[in-house]
Amino acid sequence: MFVCVCNAVSDRQIQETVAAGASSLSDLQATLGVATCCGCCADLAVSYLGKRSDSQATPATNGNLQ
Ligand code: FES
């Protein structure tokens, strides 16, 4: 799903960027452009920063069906 509609940034892209070492909203902004327009997605984008686990990064908002 898209986290950042303004810049068409998906939750998957954010997860991959966090897994690659992003540790702040600034890192995500610099890499993906997330939260650089209206800013509505900033809180959700930040919520991914603490989820660096390789196998259990399954945010409740990812829309996966089991
Ligand atoms: S939804 Fe991300 S900057 Fe607008």
Report CA(16)–ligand 1 centroid distance (Å): 18
Pick from 32, 38, 46, 47 the residue to mutate for probing ligand 1's pocket: most ligand atoms within 8 Å of its CB.
38
Per-residue pLDDT of 6-54, as tens digits, reads 999 999 999 999 999 999 999 999 999 999 999 999 999 999 998 765 5
| Beta strand segments in the chain, E | 2-4, 9-10
- Report the alpha-carbon distance of residue 31 to residue 49 in Å, rounded: 14
- Beta strand 9-10 with 2-4: parallel, antiparallel or unpaired? antiparallel
Residue range 43-58, pLDDT digits in tens: 999 999 987 655 444 4
Pick the residue whose CA is nearest to atom 2 on ligand 1: 4
> For ligand 1, what atom is nearest to the CA of residue 7?
2
What is the CA angle 21-42-61, rounded to 5?
80
Amino acid at 6: C
Let me know how many helices (H) and strands (E) the chain has, helices first. Answer: 3, 2
